[in-house]
Amino acid sequence: MPETSNTQIKSGGYIANLPSGFIQPTDAVGQRILKDYGALFVARGGAVPPNTAIFKNEAEVSAYQASLSKSNENLGGFSIELQAAAMKKLKDAIAEAKQADLSITPRGADSGKRDYSGTVELWASRVNPGLVNYVSKGKLPQAEANRIKALSPFEQVPEIFKLESQGMFFSKDLSKSIVYSVAPPGTSQHLSMLALDVSEHENAKVRDVLAKHGWFQTVVSDLPHFTFLGVAESQQPGLGLKKVNDGGRSFWLPSL
Ligand SMILES: [Zn+2]
C-alpha cells in the first residue's frame, strides 16, 4: 500500500481529502472510527496518514510504520518517536512555548508512537474490568461476558459498542463510551505516529501554541491527546473538518 504525503487541499470536503487509495469503511464500526477519530486521515504538512481506518493486526501496523519517515527525540525525559514532519513542528512549538516560560512535554513513554499490541493491552484494560463490573451488577450474564472475553480484540469491538448502546459504558469510570477513553485495537492515532499526549494540556496558552504549529485536539473528551494535522486552523473547514466545542475546548472532527 503506497502512502503519499498530501500537501494540497482539494475541494469536495472530507471525503475528497482522504489519502488516495483510502479504504472507506462500510461497516458500522469503521464508520464510527472515521467519525470519532477521522480528522487524522486528512492531515497535511508532510504527514502520511494511513489508508485504512482500522489496522487488523501487528503486521499491518509494522509495514505502515516502516514506510514512514520518522524522527526520535528525548522530550521531557522520554524517548518519543513521531513522523518526521510532526516532530519538526512539535519542536517548533516547544521552542515557542519556552519563550513564554511554558513547557510542552509528553505524559509518558507511550505518549507518542504505539504498536498494535500496546493498543490491545489498553483496550483490555477497559473491557475486562467493565465486563466484571456489569456481571457483578447483574446487568450482564457471566456466560455472555465469558464469550466476549474469549473473542479476538478485533471481534470484541462491535460487541462492546452493542453493550454501550444498551447503556453499559466501558470508559475507565464507566460513564461514557470506551472510544473517549482508549481506542479500539488497530485504530489508535498513536499507531500513525501523528499523535502526542501532552502533560500541560490544561493550559490554554499551550494549546494555542500547539495549534499554531499544526497540532490540534481531534478526539472529543480525550483531553491530553493532540493530533498533527499540519495546517492552520483557518484551513480545517477546507479539509472537511468542523469545530466541536466541548468543555471549553475546541476539537476538530470530520464533517460527516
Ligand atoms: Zn493519545
Cα of 138 from ligand 1 centre, angstroms: 33
Cα of 172 from ligand 1 centre, angstroms: 15
C-alpha 154 chain-centroid distance: 17
Residue 8's pLDDT is 86
177-214 residue pLDDT tens: 999 888 899 999 999 999 999 999 999 999 999 999 99
Residue 180's pLDDT is 87
Q: Is pLDDT at 215 greater than 70 in this prediction? A: yes
Cα of 198 from ligand 1 centre, angstroms: 8
Residue 181's pLDDT is 86
Cα of 1 from ligand 1 centre, angstroms: 25
Residue 89's pLDDT is 98
240 to 43, 131, 213, 237: CA distances (angstroms)? 11, 37, 19, 5
Residue 39's pLDDT is 98
Cα of 136 from ligand 1 centre, angstroms: 30
Question: What is the overall mean pLDDT for the chain?
Answer: 94
Q: Is pLDDT at 224 greater than 50 in this prediction? A: yes
Cα of 56 from ligand 1 centre, angstroms: 19
Cα of 4 from ligand 1 centre, angstroms: 24
Q: In sequence order, which residues have a C-beta less than 8 Å from that of residue 165 and are 6 or more positions away?
A: none
Cα of 111 from ligand 1 centre, angstroms: 6
- Give this prediction's pTM: 0.90
24-80 residue pLDDT tens: 999 988 999 999 999 999 999 999 999 999 998 999 999 999 999 999 999 999 999
Q: Using 50, 70 and 90 to split pLDDT, how confident is the model at 221?
A: confident
Q: Is pLDDT at 2 greater than 60 in this prediction? A: no
Q: Is pLDDT at 218 greater than 50 in this prediction? A: yes
Residue of 151, 166, 191, 210 lying closest to 33 (CA atoms): 191
Cα of 226 from ligand 1 centre, angstroms: 7
Residue 5's pLDDT is 54
Cα of 189 from ligand 1 centre, angstroms: 7
Average pLDDT, integer, range 119-123: 92
Cα of 37 from ligand 1 centre, angstroms: 11
Q: Using 50, 70 and 90 to split pLDDT, how confident is the model at 6?
A: low
Q: 178 with 127: CB under 8 angstroms?
A: yes
Cα of 72 from ligand 1 centre, angstroms: 17
Start-to-end CA distance of the chain, whole Å, equals 25
Residue 143's pLDDT is 98
Q: Is pLDDT at 7 greater than 80 in this prediction? A: no
